Every structure is written in C-alpha cells, then in structure tokens.
Chain A
Amino acid sequence: NAGVMQNPRHLVRRRGQEARLRCSPMKGHSHVYWYRQLPEEGLKFMVYLQKENIIDESGMPKERFSAEFPKEGPSILRIQQVVRGDSAAYFCASSPRSGKNEQFFGPGTRLTVL
C-alpha cells in the first residue's frame, strides 16, 4: 500500500506566479489535511478536507490560498500570486474514513519563491 504521495517535491516560482501542490492520499483514505512549515518554525494546520468538501479551513490565509479535494484525483493546494513569505514546506496528511484516527504524512513539497 503506497503511502501519501505529494508532487512536486520541490517547486520554484517567481513572485506573482501561481503554485499548485498535489496530494494523493493513501488508498482508502477520504480525509486530507494540509500543513505548512515555515523555515525554522513548527508545523501549522491549514485546511481539512473530505471528498468534495472543505471541513475546516481555519488555518488558511484569507487571500490567495485555496484547496480542493475532488471526487476523482488528488487534493490540490493552490497559491495564487506567490510572495517570498510563501516559501515553506507544505505537508499533506491523510486518514481513513473511520476507525483509527492517526494521520499519515507525505514527504512534503518545498516551495521556494524567488
């Protein structure tokens, strides 16, 4: 059973461009979470999604950031008009529909904004 997959692993964007980060949860998992880790800081929750629904977006910046988890395909974290302060590691985690509550994390996408 493959783990949580994220791509790309490294992404370089210039200021003002768009960044699209993808997350494929583990097979059978229908809950996806996105976290951000700024340089030398801890992990911060961003958004929690189930298939086609945003359940908790309390950690998402109000502007430029959006997330989706469509019925088919990976979850996408989209950052429009990136700024240097968006440079960070973005981690995705998934958990199963019911039963065990632990979250399984992917390897992360490291976004660098030039």
Chain B
Amino acid sequence: DAKTTQPPSMDCAEGRAANLPCNHSTISGNEYVYWYRQIHSQGPQYIIHGLKNNETNEMASLIITEDRKSSTLILPHATLRDTAVYYCIVRLPLSSNTGKLIFGQGTTLQVKP
C-alpha cells in the first residue's frame, strides 16, 4: 500500500469549510483513497473514498488531483463535533484480498467556536 503524508494538526473555525490535504505520490493505478476519522476514543468512522473522480456524500467531498498524487477532504461547514483525527489511507480494493487498512498518524482537526 502506498504511503500517505498528512499535516499533524489543523485548526478550523466553526461554520467554515475545513480542507484537509493528503499526499500519496506513490499511489498506483488501482489503489483507492479512503478517509476515516476517529473522534476521541471512539471507533474510526468511514467518511468517503474515491479512485479518480471527485466524490461527494452527505458528510464530505473528496477532491483528487488529476495525477492522483494528492487529495483533499473537504468538510463544507465544520462543527465542533467534527473535531477528530482524520486519516487518509490508500488501499487496494477488497477484490485484491488484502482488506487491511494501514493507518498513519493522521491530521488532528480542531474546530474552534
């Protein structure tokens, strides 16, 4: 699995968009970009994933650069409950039979009032 690089911490004002970057310059063609978050002491929560195209769901948007070497997770209107550690993970699809997620250190997002 490709290695990812994320800033260790970020702050965001409540109500503003939070943009969390991730570098994955060694990503290969069939590897997906996944985002999870872990709110203090809870189990990680799936947010979104994508391969090439930008993706959006009720939680967030995922913007993947054309060369796929980096991506940005966007929380459009951050709330205090979005304070968490956000993990960017690159992995093969389940069909490859290697289902494990490799978590890095992630980005600690602090949403401030």
Q: Which B46-105 residues have a C-beta within 8 angstroms of A?
A: 46, 49, 93-94, 97-105
The complex places the Cα of A108 from the Cα of B41 at a distance, in Å, of 9
With A91-B43, A91-B44: A103-B99 Cβ-Cβ less than 8 Å: yes
Q: Is the CB of A31 within 8 A of B94?
A: yes
Check B44–A101 contact: CB distance below 8 A: no
- With A and B bound together, what is the CA distance between A33 and B97 in angstroms? 12
Q: A56 near B: Cβ within 8 Å?
A: yes
Chain B contact residue count (CB 8 A cutoff): 22
Q: Kindly identify which residue among B34, B42, B97 contacts A102, using a CB–CB cutoff of 8 Å.
A: B34
The answer to whether A89 touches B46 (Cβ under 8 A) is no
Quick check: A103 and B103 within 8 Å, CB to CB? no
From DSSP, what is the main secondary structure of chain B's interface residues?
loop
- Is A12 on the interface with B (CB-CB < 8 A)? no
Q: Which of A31, A45, A55, A106 contacts B101 (CB 8 A)?
A: A45
Q: What separation, in Å, do the CA atoms of A84 and B41 have in the docked complex?
A: 20
Interface centre among B32, B43, B46, B49 (most CB of A within 10 A): B43
The answer to whether A95 has its CB under 8 Å from any CB of chain B is yes
Tell yes or no: B25 within 8 A of A by CB.
no
Bound-state CA distance A103–B103 (Å) is 13
- Contact between B34 and A31, CB atoms less than 8 A apart: no
B106 touches A107 (CB 8 A): no
Q: Does chain B have a CB within 8 A of A20?
A: no
Contact surface of A with B, Cβ cutoff 8 Å: 4, 31, 33, 35, 42-45, 48, 55-56, 58-59, 89, 91, 93, 95, 98, 101-108
